[in-house]
Amino acid sequence: MTNYAITGITGRFGRAALKTLIDLVPADHIIALARNVEKAKTMVPAGVEVRPGDYANTDQLKASLTGVDRLLLVSSQPGQEMPRLQQHKDVIDAAKAAGVAYIAYTSFPHADTATTPLADDHKQTEAYIKASGLAYSFLRNNWYLENEADVLKGAMAGQPLVYSAGAGKAGWALEREYAEAGARVLAADNTKAIYELAGQARTYQDLADAIDASFDVLAVDDAAYEQGLEKAGLDAGTAALVTSFHTLIRDGQLDEDTDDLPTVLGRELTPLADAIKIVTAE
């Protein structure tokens, strides 16, 4: 019988994916990979095996992936001691050496053609997976609504909703919906090579219109937005990074027209107003 594994199980995406996967396949055929094994053991459902899953330890990963047929590789976070791309390559090498047949990888929207630097690691990871000869699915996740949690919570509290994305659109959806989709693809018998996963494309004004509160909506340019973030206490580097997300949206790189996400889920996505309530309550 097929054995499944999910990396990064102590992270929010990995936990949500596991929550779905255990409803789709037997628990004793699921392996949860985590850097902190003891922490993971307190979080996984009964019957799921926990193994070490440090992206920076190839030998450990080879052993942990032995016997695994299908792997959900949750992309690593940038800015660590070992570059994210190298971490991904090490996991892929370990998977191939261990005999894994298939990898589902959480990537970036249109990673192969995206021009933003945010897509670079994903583009190269996709290419590395293709070159590995392993069967694959690229889960090109759009934008998590949780990325806007602070903005949404502020608006709910009556603070101005400020943005510099103009009329640009993003395919916001709940992270748990993307994670559920990842688990469903992992467990599926027939899969596509590429899934452009996204919610309905919407603007920041659309987000504002869906919030049940009274607040001002202010559209500004990037310089003013970045300056505002610094005044609010963010360091210059973080303020520039957050502003770059708005530039990305304004430039149309997250404007998506696809039904891949609801199709994989087999249902409609959480309505925007309800999704905002979920995010602001967490």
What is the DSSP annotation of 112-145? TT--SGGGHHHHHHHHHHHHHT-EEEEEEE--BG
* Cα–Cα nearest to 82, from 56, 109, 46, 49: 56
State how far the Cα of 261 lies from the Cα of 3, in Å rounded to an integer.
Answer: 24
Residues ≥6 apart with Cβ < 8 Å to 217: 160, 161, 204, 205, 208
From start to end of the chain, where are the E strands?
Answer: 4-6, 30-34, 49-52, 70-73, 102-107, 135-141, 161-163, 194-197, 217-219
Give me the tens of pLDDT residue by residue for the chain, a chain 282 residues long: 899 999 999 999 999 999 999 999 999 999 999 999 999 999 999 999 999 999 989 999 999 999 999 999 999 987 677 899 999 999 999 999 999 999 999 999 999 999 999 999 999 999 999 999 999 999 999 999 999 999 999 999 999 999 999 999 999 999 999 999 999 999 999 999 999 999 999 999 999 999 999 999 999 999 999 999 999 999 999 999 999 999 999 999 999 999 999 999 999 999 999 999 999 998
Label residues 207-217 b or e (16+ Cβ within 10 Å = b).
bbebbeeeeee
3-state secondary structure of 17: helix
Q: Identify any residues that bridge with 139 across adjacent strands, giving them in sequence order.
A: 106, 195
List own/partner pairs for 13-16 with CB under 8 A and 24 or more apart: 13/74, 13/106, 13/175, 13/178, 13/179, 13/182, 14/74, 14/179, 15/43, 15/179, 16/175, 16/176, 16/179, 16/180
Tokens of 64: 């942990």
Residues ≥6 apart with Cβ < 8 Å to 271: none
Tokens of 77: 């976070």
Residues ≥6 apart with Cβ < 8 Å to 157: 213
- Model's pTM, two decimal places? 0.96
Q: What pLDDT does residue 258 have?
A: 95
* Cα–Cα nearest to 48, from 26, 17, 70: 26
The DSSP symbol for 146 reads G
